[in-house]
Structure 1
């Protein structure tokens, strides 16, 4: 079988987004449990036709970029970012120059603030480059167009043959690299315009109405709704954990849901024996079909002796995010006669929400007894059960 030409992707995310308003560039605004750029990157990193992804960022945004890629986990396809220039065209040229060392045959150029590119759209653009030097996704203009001046409506514009251009725009790498070098210093509207100037024939590819570019606050709200529709694979997982108590007088506190709680008995376990976080970790792992806590953090491994259990829970939450999912809810029930949980519940909810990087309203911590029945009733140990709901892309 003949190997397919390598396709690289350049994400342009160096802009300031002045039309969006506020101090935060729009590509770093929160969107469905991550930021806009995280969703943009994920769409291309997960696509089988993409070999490398590089991002052009503003020199001041490295910390924001690092936070944006953290939910994606280890990604061999993701190259180190490059600094963009004063104008978008400069950023694209710098990104292409950085990609040249990797020798791609094709390149897709994508706006960092366009987070909803579907796998089908990406495939259409890549495939078009097999027979054309350039490919541009477009959506037909359906609204009536009016020419306006000085706040007044003028004549109606014939929309026949008009279309709205989107990204990713695709090109054969060598040709678009040469085209960008040839127009350095000029101001052109997009990369297709650069290709036009070089005389490249550009194939039309079917775009998508929901492949919106976030320009205003209203666009961000619409993107939230569209992503909610895509996250329609709803999963629920359950977890249960038990730890016995050591002899009275062996401790002054135990860890429960990430919070130290006064108690005269220590909990026995390989890590810090936090039953609440252990149960929730198993619930999240179960919801995404990723095994259990023992598979990821085996008690036979000495590196986890005395480890803080929040690390286990953060790992499970990271796996959800790597799959493009969000945590919809986390519910923990602690079962014991002692210690009393009630006074510490607000702090527990806040700590669990912090670890999961979700809002407190999505976290519940409850406590109950077994009416002095069983090992918990005899105060020989403590137990916890948990239910977690996650939403994954369809």
Structure 2
């Protein structure tokens, strides 16, 4: 079809875009199914944060070993605790009777010590834990040494302090990578996962909406009143508002629950700033990807063909997502990461993660924002040109080169 439908009404550009945007918000957001699914997702996210907080706090509060001791063996308590601390483990010591200990060995008691503190009997349910056996052995030997020193007229406390300080000092030549998957990783992954969910959902809605209007020929009626560029702009704006609302509701619920539970108390992460940065990069990322989804979807005329044009765009979303998840968290200030995070398709995912890890300079953030903002007008021109040529094309799939030549 070579001729383009021209609008016959006198509606202004802003009024036309606003009308289409309101229609999209009403059709996409204020539906029963969308509100129910949004509520369910919010409940799942909040419950997930609460469960995570429970398990993290439980791990922090629970000792590695719980040892019961008979009254005469209670002298070993400070030595057991100190021996565990020296090896990076916590030991709870409780004074119990033998009868109570035998009952609890099958439940929450790891061992019970009775008899002579210098040669105590160690009761266990089945088999002694080797780490716990080493801790008890060290404590018993320290106690026996203290007894001998005291009998010789020496000071056992001074000797114990000297022995406690006589340990090797470990120095790491390579940076410690243990923090890569700590709380910072959880915050950044939650942020970019919300971003990925919102961008995929919004982009898919735009693509399906464009093809639905083509298939039902509703677009021909709409284009009798407004221009193709106005229709595309209104659709992107409306669905963008829906996506932004989802990010605010789900992200706000997640971060508010984190703050309320104190999940990351003591960690130097500004959750409020992270949320604001996420919203900023959602707006920029949405503008970049939504234009491509809307324009390229106009190339096909059937729902079954949507995958042919959206699959490459999905790769453009998943590749930076996984790079941000693993590459940025491993080394947020590497040269490759710094270069990639300036590319508009990568920066919405990489910049929030780099900010959480503290690996981004202010000028880098501002430069990435400026590059993304400068790229948007170019994408507007490309997507509007493709959409204008493709939206009225019927029959088979239109080639991208053909749409750009028109």
TM over 0.5: no
- Give the structure with the larger strand fraction: 1
Under TM normalisation by the shorter chain, which class is it?
under 0.3
Pick the structure with greater CA Rg. Answer: 2
- Give the structure with the larger helix fraction: 2
Higher relative contact order (CA 8 A, sep 6+): 2
Normalised by the size of structure 2, how large is the TM-score? 0.25
Normalised by the size of structure 1, how large is the TM-score? 0.26
